[in-house]
Amino acid sequence: MIDLRRTVLVAALVATAATSAPAAETAAERAPGRITIVGEGTVNAVPNMATLTSGVVTSASTAREALDANTEAMAGVIEAFKKAGIAAKDIMTDGFSVQPRYVYPEPKDGSTQPPRIDGYEVRNQVIVRVRELAKLGTVLDAAVTTGANQMGGLSFDVAEPAVLIDKARAAAVEDAKRKAALYVQAAGAKLGRLIEIDETSMQMPPRPMMMARSMDFAEAKAVPVEAGEQTLRAQVRLTWELAD
């Protein structure tokens, strides 16, 4: 009896496998082909705002003296920014430090001498957003005139890039559609329904290509600055089924 049941079970499994294999093969054969294309879109824009870092470094024989000198100079720099039209919300302290300044004596009698403190150094730095580029040259000049002895990190940007980003995305989709149509036509196929869209990257460079547009400033002492041009890039991946 046991042997008979085993024989029947094995026969049933073999029959099931034999009938399901063609069905699986048929389903695979019926699955439509696919084509995946990556499209890229770009939009050029002239920056309309700038960000810079400005700071004051002071040194003195005592930490108190160095701090007092730095505080006075930095207060003048911040006041100059405000007088140049920079709002308080666009001025942010980015770094502050008080550090001893060491000197290293020459070795004596063949022995290394320990370093000694020869004063103190205080650093204070702010990040400033300039929302009107016409004021940028004046802002830079005012900062240096009132005591800033560290300037850097100047970068340009677009204040509200959302509309431009969407244009780049739309251009990327159109680029992918154009490529897909070209490929399927060359291959003698047809595009079916769109089944997948993925945004693969979005690039907004923090610095422009320094080219083209010069800014004109009203004051003679204003620092000349090039606003340049930014390129925003979007990349998407689209997948279609191939029609029969």
pLDDT over 70 for what percent of the chain? 80
What is the percent of the chain with per-residue pLDDT over 90, rounded to a whole number? 64
Q: Is residue 192 part of a domain?
A: yes
- What values do phi and psi take at 190, rounded to 5? -135, 145
Contact partners, residue 28, CB within 8 Å, separation at least 6: none
Give residue 44's pLDDT band: very low, low, confident or very high (50, 70, 90): very high
Quote the pLDDT of residue 8.
43
Domain final residue pick, 126, 157, 188: 157
Using the 3D structure, point to which of 136, 157, 178 is the last residue of a domain: 157
**Per-residue pLDDT averaged across 197-201, rounded?**
91
Establish if 224 belongs to a structural domain.
yes
Residue 101 makes CB contacts below 8 A (sequence gap 6+) with 59, 117, 118, 119, 120, 121
Report pLDDT digits (tens) over 82-134.
Answer: 999 999 999 999 999 999 999 998 888 888 888 899 999 999 999 999 999 99
- Give the three-class secondary structure for 187: helix
Same domain, 66 and 127: yes
Asked if the model's pLDDT at residue 25 lies above 70, the reply is: no
Q: Are residues 59 and 152 in the same domain?
A: yes
This prediction has a pTM of 0.65
Say whether both 54 and 144 belong to one domain.
yes
Is the same domain home to 190 and 91?
no
| Count of beta carbons in the 10 Å neighbourhood of residue 214 | 9
- Within a domain: 13: no
Separation in Å, CA 237 to CA 128, 163, 171, 180:
38, 21, 13, 11
Q: Is residue 8 part of a domain?
A: no
- CATH number of the domain encompassing residue 41: 3.30.110.170
CB burial of 60-82 (b: ≥16 within 10 Å; e: otherwise) equals beebeebbebbeebbebbbebbe
The CATH number for 137's domain is 3.30.70.2970
Q: How many domains does the chain have?
A: 2
Domain housing 103: 49-157
Q: How many angstroms separate the Cα of 219 from the Cα of each of 9, 74, 87, 178, 222? A: 97, 23, 20, 50, 6
Confidence of residue 206 (pLDDT cuts 50, 70, 90): low
